[in-house]
Amino acid sequence: NAGVMQNPRHLVRRRGQEARLRCSPMKGHSHVYWYRQLPEEGLKFMVYLQKENIIDESGMPKERFSAEFPKEGPSILRIQQVVRGDSAAYFCASSYRSPGNTGELFFGEGSRLTVL
């Protein structure tokens, strides 16, 4: 049973370019979360998606960032016109239950974005 798969593991972009990070949740999981970890900090919630729906995007920066989880295919976190401050590790997590669950999230290994 494959875990949460993220790719690419490492991504280097120049300022102004676009970054696309992909996440395939664990089999049977329909809830996807994106978190960002800046250097020397804990993980910060960005967005919570279910298939074709954004449930909670309260942690997403207002500009340049977007996320989707289409009916088919992986979830995508898109960062347009990247700046150096976007350099971070981006973690995707999935779960298969919501109300009443234990809150366990299964995390991927992360995508490390470096903006030059």
The pairing of strands 106-107 and 75-79 is unpaired
Q: Please pick, from the candidates 42, 53, 71, 85, the single residue that binds other proteins as defined by CB under 8 A.
A: 42
Q: Please pick, from the candidates 8, 56, 83, 116, the single residue that binds other proteins as defined by CB under 8 A.
A: 56
At 84, is the secondary structure helix, strand, or coil?
helix
- Using CB under 8 A as the binding criterion, the count of chain residues that bind other proteins stands at 30
Report if residue 11 touches other proteins, rule: CB under 8 A: no
- Contact indicator for 19, 7 with CB cutoff of 8 Å: no
At 26, is the secondary structure helix, strand, or coil?
coil
Question: Which of the ranges 13-21, 51-59, 68-76, 80-88 carries the binding residues for other proteins, by CB under 8 A?
Answer: 51-59
First-to-last CA distance in the chain? 36
Q: Please pick, from the candidates 17, 20, 26, 45, the single residue that binds other proteins as defined by CB under 8 A.
A: 45
CA distance 92 to 10: 14
Footprint on this chain of other proteins (rule: CB under 8 A): 4, 31, 33, 35, 40-45, 48, 55-56, 58-59, 91, 93, 95, 98-99, 101-110
